[in-house]
Amino acid sequence: MRMQMTGEWAKLMNDINPRHTAKVVSDIDKEVGLVAKDIAERSSDDAPVDTGYMRDTLKVNYERTGGTVESMWVVMPEVYEILPYLWMQNFNHATKGFFFTNAFNQQHAKFDKRLLAVIERAYK
């Protein structure tokens, strides 16, 4: 996902102090975690019914990896053994195709607004 650093981001750059910075970093991490959860749950809900194992695996497979500074949220860390099957179903299923792509794109469309709202709340 890519973000434009304009608008409310300028507040973060111009008014850096320990209280705001710590709160914004913590709140952004939580929000990105919610985005990962939303992608996992939506893709699981929309996955083909005949792939019960994949649906169950997708629903719970999002996690935070790495240390404090270099951490990131990952969707599907444990499904690599079924990844070829997942992508085949995502791109080729007759009625449920693009279930993962759509879940990701839906969250991607709202990503900037969600993070900007986090920054706004930190500065109130």
For residue 13, tell me if it sits in a domain.
no
Q: Are 97 and 90 in contact (CB under 8 A)?
A: yes
Residue type, 59: K
Residue 12 lies in a domain: no
**Cα 51 to chain center, whole Å?**
22
**Residue 7 located in a structural domain:** no
Longest dimension (CA), the chain: 53
Q: Is residue 108 part of a domain?
A: yes
**Is 116 part of any domain?**
yes
For residue 108, what are the domain limits? 19-122
pTM for the full predicted model: 0.74
Structurally, the chain folds into a number of domains equal to 1
User: pLDDT tens, 56-92?
Assistant: 888 888 888 876 566 788 887 666 677 788 888 889 9
Reading the block at residue 12, the tokens are 């973060």
Concatenated DSSP letters of 76-122: -TT-GGGHHHHHHHHHH-TTTTTHHHHHHHHHHHHHHHHHHHHHHHH
